[in-house]
Amino acid sequence: MTGSNPRAEAAAPTGEATLTLDDGAVFPGFAVGEVSEAEGEVIFITAMSGYQEVLTDPSYHGQIVVFTTAHVGNYGTNPGVNQAERPQAAGVVFHELWLPPAVHWASERDLSAWLGLNGVGALTGVDTRALTLHLRTKGARNGVISRIKDPIERLRRAEAVPSMNGLDLAQRVFTKKPYKMRPPKGLFPDEAPMRVAVMDFGVKRSILDQLTSLNMDLTVWPGDAPPAAVQGEDPQGLFLANGPGDPAACDYAVKTTRHFLGKIPVFGICLGHQIMGLAAGGTTYKLPFGHHGLNHPVELVDENRVLITSQNHGFCVDPDSLPSNVRANMWNLNDQTVEGLEWSDLPAFCVQFHPEASPGPHDSRGLFQKFRRMIKEPDA
Residue extents of the structural domains in the chain? 6-159, 170-376
One pLDDT digit (tens) per residue for the chain, 380 residues: 333 333 334 455 668 999 999 999 999 999 987 777 999 999 999 999 999 999 999 999 999 999 999 999 999 999 999 999 999 999 999 999 988 777 788 899 999 999 999 999 999 999 999 999 999 999 999 999 999 999 999 999 999 999 999 999 999 999 999 999 999 998 899 999 999 999 999 999 999 999 999 999 999 999 999 999 999 999 999 999 999 999 999 999 999 999 999 999 999 999 999 999 999 999 999 999 999 999 999 999 999 999 999 999 999 999 999 999 999 999 999 999 999 999 999 999 999 999 998 778 888 889 999 999 999 987 76
* Spatial CB neighbours of 178, under 8 Å, sequence gap ≥ 6: 219, 220, 221, 222, 225
Q: What is the pLDDT of residue 12?
A: 55
Angle at 19 between CA 311 and CA 312, to 5 degrees: 5
Q: Which CATH architecture has domain 6-159?
A: 3-Layer(bba) Sandwich (3.50)
The Cα 11–Cα 111 span in angstroms is 9
- Among 18, 13, 4, 45, residue whose Cα is nearest residue 116: 13
The Cα 238–Cα 261 span in angstroms is 9
270 is known as an active-site residue: yes
Give the number of other CB atoms < 10 A from CB of residue 163. Answer: 11
The Cα 87–Cα 90 span in angstroms is 8
Q: What is the pLDDT of residue 378?
A: 79
Q: Could you tell me the CA-to-CA distances from 138 to 21, 25, 144 in Å, in that order?
A: 11, 11, 17
The Cα 25–Cα 72 span in angstroms is 24
Of the residues 270, 291, 292, 299, only one is catalytic, namely 270
Superfamily holding 170-376: Class I glutamine amidotransferase (GATase) domain (3.40.50.880)
354 is known as an active-site residue: yes
Q: What is the pLDDT of residue 34?
A: 73
- Among 210, 208, 228, 227, residue whose Cα is nearest residue 219: 208
The helix or strand, by DSSP H or E, that contains position 341, with its residue range, turns out to be: strand 338-343
Q: What is the pLDDT of residue 271?
A: 98
The dihedral formed by the CA atoms of 75, 58, 358 and 36, expressed in degrees to the nearest 10:
20
Q: What is the pLDDT of residue 14?
A: 64
* Spatial CB neighbours of 53, under 8 Å, sequence gap ≥ 6: 81, 82, 83, 206, 358, 359
Q: What is the pLDDT of residue 337?
A: 98
- Tell me the pTM: 0.93
What are the helix (H) ranges across the chain?
51-55, 111-117, 128-138, 151-159, 170-173, 205-213, 227-231, 251-260, 271-279, 366-376
Of the residues 41, 53, 108, 356, only one is catalytic, namely 356
User: Is the Cβ–Cβ distance between 63 and 87 less than 8 Å?
Assistant: no
The helix or strand, by DSSP H or E, that contains position 19, with its residue range, turns out to be: strand 13-21
Q: Could you tell me the CA-to-CA distances from 135 to 213, 288, 315 in Å, in that order?
A: 39, 9, 16
Which residue type occupies 289?
Answer: F
Q: What share of the chain is helix, strand, coil (3-state, %, to 5)?
A: 25, 35, 40
153 is known as an active-site residue: no
* Burial group, residue 305, by CB count within 10 angstroms (0-12, 13-18, 19+): exposed
Q: Could you tell me the CA-to-CA distances from 29 to 87, 95, 106, 317 in Å, in that order?
A: 22, 9, 30, 37
The Cα 239–Cα 265 span in angstroms is 9
User: Is the Cβ–Cβ distance between 296 and 259 less than 8 Å?
Assistant: no
* Spatial CB neighbours of 27, under 8 Å, sequence gap ≥ 6: 18, 19, 20, 21, 93, 126, 127, 130, 131
The Cα 167–Cα 262 span in angstroms is 29
Q: What is the pLDDT of residue 9?
A: 47
